[in-house]
Chains A and B, each alone.
Chain A
Amino acid sequence: KAGVTQTPRYLIKTRGQQVTLSCSPISGHRSVSWYQQTPGQGLQFLFEYFSETQRNKGNFPGRFSGRQFSNSRSEMNVSTLELGDSALYLCASRAGENTEAFFGQGTRLTVV
């Protein structure tokens, strides 16, 4: 069974640009969550999707958005990139409501 797949693995963008990150969950998992990980802050919750619906959103500005498709694949978008957006973005999928999360390898975004 394939794990959670995130693409791309690495990305370098310039301030002001926008970026789209992709996540394919484990087959059969309909819940997908996104997190931002930085050395000082740990994992910060961005949003959670289930069956194409956003169920919750973390305390991030409106520049951060996401969506989930009918096949459970998810994308997140960050517009008007800032230097502080440089981080590892992790996606995780779950089989059930309160079961463990399976994480992808992440996308390391660097904003210059």
Chain B
Amino acid sequence: GQNIDQPTEMTATEGAIVQINCTYQTSGFNGLFWYQQHAGEAPTFLSYNVLDGLEEKGRFSSFLSRSKGYSYLLLKELQMKDSASYLCAVRSGGFKTIFGAGTRLFVKA
């Protein structure tokens, strides 16, 4: 079957660094996406990895290892506004995107 696992909740302190892990097993692989979703709002795109390695975009970085079926999202210099759910999603074969259940991040002062 197809499955994506990520932690349910994480808590971190303002100004710190947090890493959200995601492991996946899918039929086919055409890229891995990270989305941010604030409560009551639509998900918004953060990053895309299709090749192994690290993609950096400002305070956010995402890493992919296709051989291990593993990715992480790294958030640096955490701000209160980063409190949200972070969704890991894999574009699998057959024009299908599988989402993980999401990781709720709480940033405390």
Contact = CB atoms under 8 A, between A and B. Distances in A.
B97 A101 contact: yes
Contacts of B33: 100-101
The 10 closest A-B pairs by CB, nearest first: A42-B101, A43-B99, A103-B42, A55-B95, A100-B45, A98-B30, A56-B96, A56-B95, A98-B31, A48-B95
Given A98-B30, A98-B31, A104 B42 contact: yes
A90 B43 contact: yes
Interface in A19-61: 33, 35, 40-45, 48, 50, 55-56, 58
B19 interface: no
Interface of B: 30-31, 33, 35, 41-45, 48, 50, 87, 89, 91, 94-102
Interface of A: 33, 35, 40-45, 48, 50, 55-56, 58, 90, 97-106
Q: Which of the listed residues A97, A103, A104 has the most CB atoms from chain B within 10 Å of its own CB?
A: A103
Scoring A90, A98, A100 by chain B CB atoms within 10 A of each residue's CB, the highest score goes to A100
27 contacts: A33-B97, A35-B99, A40-B101, A42-B87, A42-B99, A42-B100, A42-B102, A43-B43, A43-B87, A43-B89, A43-B99, A43-B102, A45-B96, A48-B97, A50-B95, A55-B94, A56-B94, A90-B42, A90-B43, A97-B30, A99-B48, A100-B45, A100-B48, A101-B35, A101-B43, A104-B42, A106-B42
A58 B21 CA distance: 25
Q: Determine the main DSSP class of A at the interface with B.
A: strand
| Chain A CB within 10 A, most for which of B41, B48, B95, B99 | B95
Contacts of B94: 55-56
Contacts of A100: 33, 45, 48
A33 to B, nearest CB: 7
